[in-house]
Structure 1
Amino acid sequence: MPEYHELTGDQRAIQLVRRFLDYADSVREPENLAVFSSKWSGVLLSAGIWYYNQTGDADVLALLQRCTKRSIDDFENYFRNFPKDPKAFAEMCDFVPHYCDAKGKAGEPAYEGQTPIGRHGFTAVMALSYPAFHSLISGDRSESESVVQGMANLDQTYGQVGGRWGADGWFVSTDPIVGSETCAVAQSFFSLENIVAVMGNVEVADRIEQLIFNAFPGACTADMWARQFYQQSNQVLVSVAKRPWNSPGTDAGNIYGFKPCYPGPLADVHAPWPRYVASMWMATADEGLAAMSYGPCRVNGKIGKGAPIELAVETDYPFSDRVRVTVRCKEPVRFPLHFRIPKWSSQAEVSVSGNATPWRPQSGTMLKVDREWKDGDVVTLNFNFKIRTETRDNNAVAVAWGPLFFVLRIGVAFERIPTLTAYRTDELPVSAPLGCVDWHIAPTTDWNYALSIDRNNPQCEMIFNKISSMPFAQKGEPVRAPGSNEYLPSQNDVPMLLRVKAKLVPQWGMNGANAAPVPMSPVKTNQPETVVELIPYGCSRLRIAEFPTV
């Protein structure tokens, strides 16, 4: 409703949000807490604070406190007192019932093989924004700061490549074959972008970029017509098969399709790109504007007492480390522009209207440029990205540049399979629109490579290609053009790739339908050295993101 109101000005949206808040207040008794449980408290607070800002109705602040008073205690534990022991974590997070069927009890396995460990990944990302929003009402800044600590806790225990968490249903581990729900990735943008709006936190904004440029496109086909329920960091086969997921009925959990397993991804995948675009620039308390995320865009706003300005942003980001911002204004006007300097920048450089500045902003900070701006003034940012590595389980290595993680390019064979629109006996089938396809994808080339790379000084050949209208497509991958139901091989390749030395590791093979655990590095192999290509994670449907090293 707030987003609808922003676009249309329809006053009924304000009235409807108030009715929603009154309803939440009417069902806040303990027996009804499941209706607005802790995971939804952030959404409730978001709507309530928006309503307050629209109307100035102070009564709604007391209403929000009444509706969410139990949640803050839960999140004190969840974010600040996070135990490393999974069993202790399960006990601590008992306030959200475990998934179970009609025969199971909360906290007990609902089906053979389930290991309930407490917290549903989707629930966690929905809940993240609660402490940040609540801090606006309580005035306790430590509540919002606990969010960053909470995410660091989750990273340590469940972190996956690119800022997501290993939760194929329940939180599981950092193992690269553990699935991550596309729903959780998609819904995380609502929470994270609101946290950025409250806190202005660079670290959270960095995570948004990693998710939107890696995990989200990696869970969808390049044309966005199919998506997965679960994605894997090391994903070498996409098929209908038994995998050790922690949710029932998910044999089709990693196929790309219209509605694999559950309808959640189908309902969620429309939101991330518009959310990202809508929150790239934000207003600031000092009557300026802040670039919290990067990409080509045009921004129209009013500064200070209402002076209209336009910002035109030209960039190939994330496939480039340079951003050019042109200011358009009818007459000179003074206001601050704030620029996020990502943590992966290296000795960032800034110029204004072609003149070099003395600023050498530190990575992971906000740069404030406060001056009188004239029409046509240009700010140029050069982030100077460098290839970097990240150490993973079993001393494996992941490779990144800027917000992008890079994965092995694996030859792929796409095979159409019957579009299964209901994978559970208790679920009604949903008709797939004409042209929707479910895909089985098998590897046609070796994937079991170890990289010959210096972690501290990685050397790679970098190749840049033209960016197409489907930037996450590989050449030859079947894609559906706009206005067509036909799938044709993509004529364009990935925007950039890395070439790295590597050796085959024959002893590293399959474990059922998954890649076996990554061998402990360094590995020994008598295979000859070769050169492999690494492509952006978001451009891959099959991938190795965590490599052993020679």
Structure 2
Amino acid sequence: MKRLSACIIYIVLSLPVCLAQTTYTAPVYQELPLGAIKPEGWLRNQLLIMRKGTSGHLDEIYAKVKDDNGWLGGKGDGWEETPYWLDGALPLAYLLDDKTLQEKVLRYVHWTLAHQRPSGYFGPITKAEREQQQTIDPAHANAGEDWWPKMVMLKVLQQYYSATGDTYVIRFMSNYFRYQLAALKTAPLGKWTQWAEARGPENMLTVLWLYNITHDAFLLDLAAHLETQSFPWSSWMGNRDWVISTTTFRDNNLWMNRHAVNVAMGIKAPAVNYQRTGDTNYLRSLRTGWHDLMTVHGLPMGIFSGDEDLNGNLPTQGVELCAVVEAMFSLENIIATTGAVPYMDALERIAFNALPTQTTDDYNAKQYFQVANQVQISRGVFEFSLPFNREMCNVLGMRSGYTCCLANMHQGWTKFAQHLWYASPEGGLAALAYGPCSLHVKAGKDSTPVTIHETTSYPFEDVIHFSLAASKTVSFPLQLRIPAWCKEAVILLNSQPLQRAAGGQLVTLDRSWKNGDKLALQLPMEITTSTWGRNSRAVERGPLVYALRLQEKWGKEHDAVEGDYFSVYPEGAWNYALQKAGVDKPGEQLHFSVVKPVDDSFVWNLAHAPVKITAPAKQLPDWKVANGVAYQPVTDREGIYKGKVDSAVHEITLVPYGCTKVRVVAFPVVR
């Protein structure tokens, strides 16, 4: 089959017109081709670290991906972990223009494309095929294997198409989806495992992506059929009973509907169904479900608890790394579908806080569960809803906990980099998340090649610079997101004031752009505090949440089953409470300062923390670790801790949460 060489794809930025007479509603924004956005500065360095670490070498160091792999025709792993790895490694290869990594990941892609069965079925050679020479077609769909890992591989193939334009992917997916529509009658989503039922929105997402290209009506029928066989996330999120039920029992009854990774994937279901039907009730369900989820289970770093089940809003609860990256991916798709600013803000909060803290600097080890108030990283059962008698869920290791996160963690930064920009109607562009990058597209009605360099140390600084290069003057609308945390943004064009805008909205600059135009977006950041579980308070500035800076004592150990791992303990006191005066008037009592500039070598750790906030605090002598957990002190209705408090006032230093491994982020309050 013909293959296109890897290159940056330039496209005309116009939304497709739906040709079928349906209620299908195209997304507000379209994703740009993989490679059109090139990360720069600290973001590129993060990807280079991943390329050097497990993201670029998992197929060499991890037996499931390395040995006799099913996605290369072997008898080894044919389930989720190999597609998980590809789902992050393939975009990494194209974002970095890394030909060596491209060759590695394309082995799996090309094998998958070349070995589709005549019926449209695809995937590793099944036991029935290997041992009984069974032909898999809709009449013999039971001889196939689980639908779930194929959903992940479809996402990989979608990204491959986005990077290369290989039209064989379109034919491949069309054939598979025709097979699936027929096969689901005898082999429904839940035939092999509940994972496929729980994660049906992933399947629907790629079906609708293909419909956006081909407009084949059967694809809408398939999407509707998949919805009937999937967990009803949309109705759950809209009626509130589901969120209430997740707060009650912790047993094997219906645990799949509160499993945090399932939830992270499921939150996109209302947006997917809105796209499928045009029914705005789905958007209301999305708003209700996200609000309720974060109210009942939300943690300061922007993600909901899930260790593995949803587990409330106490700062002692953990969250699985897979839930972090899957929630980000869901939000990236929700943003495209709805164009709603709150989900853009939510994406950045997770990306700049929850994501970076859960891996080591070299991206070779990860935590299965991170904890908000994490005063030690060690073996133990802690307060997790799935505690594991192996006691390895909290340590930093390559194989500690379940290895799904080892394979799946790579999509977090790569897909975030892909979704800094989107295409908007009328050949426009939309900057909906911010980070250093360059953008290479064709824009405007005349499809003029345009390059935009986005230069910034955001989220650590509050100014984002855009420099435009074009061969001629070009007219197109440029949209900029003004985060809700920003009271008033200032936009300058060529150093001259252009516009002011309140937070929580999108600003559209529809004008003729000239070669050399320079745009500056100023997003003044103020220190604020927010309230979390047990009346605890967190300190924020812009999209960053700040945590107590603690010196870290690392120790390397070895487990016979799960290999090498790291424990981390704090050095010095951690049991501080914020003073009420600082909580009530953070702009007066708390002080922000820049420690060092952010350069291209930035790493999310204490040594590179570029900014800090100092705050007055007092120690709580009775706040101690019990069984590895810093149980949150109880407060009264005013949110004031009533136990013993030392009289001395200390100035504590807070740094970005993402730069910490051990920390306090949700503080008690004292007078």
Choose which of 286, 289, 296 in structure 2 pairs with 1:147: 286
Choose which of 635, 648, 654 in structure 2 pairs with 1:534: 654
Letter in 2 for 1:472: W
Q: Could you tell me whether the CA contact under 8 Å between 1:179 and 1:230 is conserved in 2?
A: yes
Choose which of 208, 218, 234 in structure 2 pairs with 1:49: 208
Deviations 1:210-258 (A, max 9, x none): 1111001111123322110001110001111122322244511111111
Letter in 1 for 2:169: A
**Structure 2 CA distance for aligned equivalents of residues 508 and 2 of structure 1:** 51
- Pairing 1:148-547 to 2, within 5 Å after superposition: 148-247=287-386, 248-249=388-389, 251-303=391-443, 304-357=445-498, 359-419=499-559, 421-422=561-562, 437-452=564-579, 453-458=581-586, 459-464=589-594, 465-468=596-599, 469-475=601-607, 493-520=608-635, 521-523=639-641, 525-547=645-667
What residue in structure 2 maps to residue 32 of structure 1?
188
Q: Could you tell me whether the CA contact under 8 Å between 1:41 and 1:68 is conserved in 2?
A: yes
Q: Could you tell me whether the CA contact under 8 Å between 2:320 and 2:368 is conserved in 1?
A: yes
Shift of 1:339: 0.2
For these two proteins, the number of residue pairs brought into alignment is 499
Letter in 1 for 2:214: T
Q: Could you tell me whether the CA contact under 8 Å between 1:505 and 1:527 is conserved in 2?
A: no
**Structure 2 CA distance for aligned equivalents of residues 68 and 356 of structure 1:** 49
Shift of 1:204: 0.5
What residue in structure 2 maps to residue 482 of structure 1?
none
What residue in structure 2 maps to residue 65 of structure 1?
224
Shift of 1:76: 4.2
What residue in structure 2 maps to residue 128 of structure 1?
267
Shift of 1:335: 0.7
Distance change in 2, residues 1:151/1:30 (3 Å):
farther
Letter in 2 for 1:66: H
Identity of aligned residues (%): 28
**Structure 2 CA distance for aligned equivalents of residues 85 and 153 of structure 1:** 7
Q: Could you tell me whether the CA contact under 8 Å between 2:234 and 2:286 is conserved in 1?
A: no
Higher relative CO (Cα under 8 Å, sequence separation at least 6) belongs to 2
Q: Could you tell me whether the CA contact under 8 Å between 1:518 and 1:547 is conserved in 2?
A: no
Shift of 1:448: 0.2
Choose which of 77, 80, 101 in structure 1 pairs with 2:235: 77
Distance change in 2, residues 1:218/1:297 (3 Å):
same
Shift of 1:2: 1.1
Deviations 1:509-531 (A, max 9, x none): 11211112234242351331111
Distance change in 2, residues 1:534/1:52 (3 Å):
same
Instruction: Give unmatched runs, 5+ long, in structure 2.
Output: 1-156
Q: Secondary structure at the match of 2:450?
A: strand
Shift of 1:190: 1.7
Shift of 1:321: 0.8
What residue in structure 2 maps to residue 7 of structure 1?
163
Shift of 1:404: 0.5
Q: Secondary structure at the match of 1:171?
A: coil
What residue in structure 2 maps to residue 485 of structure 1?
none
**Structure 2 CA distance for aligned equivalents of residues 121 and 324 of structure 1:** 37
Q: Could you tell me whether the CA contact under 8 Å between 1:148 and 1:204 is conserved in 2?
A: no
Q: Could you tell me whether the CA contact under 8 Å between 2:237 and 2:243 is conserved in 1?
A: no
Q: Secondary structure at the match of 1:234?
A: coil
**Greater helix fraction, Structure 1 or Structure 2:** 2
Which range is displaced more, 129-138 or 293-302?
Answer: 129-138
Distance change in 2, residues 1:99/1:264 (3 Å):
farther
**Structure 1 CA distance for aligned equivalents of residues 477 and 506 of structure 2:** 12
**Structure 2 CA distance for aligned equivalents of residues 66 and 265 of structure 1:** 30
User: TM-score, length-normalised on structure 1?
Assistant: 0.86
What residue in structure 1 maps to residue 22 of structure 2?
none
Distance change in 2, residues 1:262/1:333 (3 Å):
same
User: TM-score, length-normalised on structure 2?
Assistant: 0.71
Q: Secondary structure at the match of 2:485?
A: coil
What residue in structure 2 maps to residue 487 of structure 1?
none
Letter in 2 for 1:119: R
Which range is displaced more, 213-222 or 135-144?
Answer: 135-144
Shift of 1:24: 3.3
Q: Could you tell me whether the CA contact under 8 Å between 1:89 and 1:117 is conserved in 2?
A: no
Deviations 1:472-525 (A, max 9, x none): 1222xxxxxxxxxxxxxxxxx311111111111101111211112234242351
Q: Could you tell me whether the CA contact under 8 Å between 1:509 and 1:515 is conserved in 2?
A: yes
Cα RMSD, aligned residues only: 2.2
Letter in 2 for 1:305: D
Letter in 2 for 1:470: F
**Structure 1 CA distance for aligned equivalents of residues 207 and 168 of structure 2:** 15
Deviations 1:304-355 (A, max 9, x none): 2311111110100000111011111111111110000011112111111111
Which range is displaced more, 36-45 or 194-203?
Answer: 36-45
Shift of 1:8: 1.7
Q: Could you tell me whether the CA contact under 8 Å between 1:257 and 1:419 is conserved in 2?
A: no
